[in-house]
Amino acid sequence: MDAAEKTRENRLRRMLDRRGYTLQKSRARDPGGLTYGGYQIVNTQTGGVDAGWGNANRGFAFSLDDVEAWLEGR
């Protein structure tokens, strides 16, 4: 991840924090893993993964673009 992406990730993380959510990045180490490189938004109060994106009913299905779009939709 380059510096610009990291900055963007941190900015989105802060925005989510302010709204009661936590941005988590998949800890999958195998590049072939389903969630490798993905993000999920967790409701800080319930601990549950918040609504997914597109066809996903799973966690870590977001890209940073998806996270941004999710925030814009709120």
Q: Count the site residues for other proteins by CB under 8 A.
A: 25
What sign has the CA pseudo-torsion 6, 12, 18, 20? negative
Provide the mask over 20-49, with x wherever binding to other proteins is found by CB under 8 A and - wherever it is not.
Answer: ------xxxxxxxxxxx---------xxxx
Q: Does 73 bind other proteins (CB under 8 A)?
A: no
Residue number, 50 or 68, with CB nearest to other proteins: 50
Which residues in this chain contact other proteins in the complex, by CB under 8 A?
26-36, 46-52, 54-60
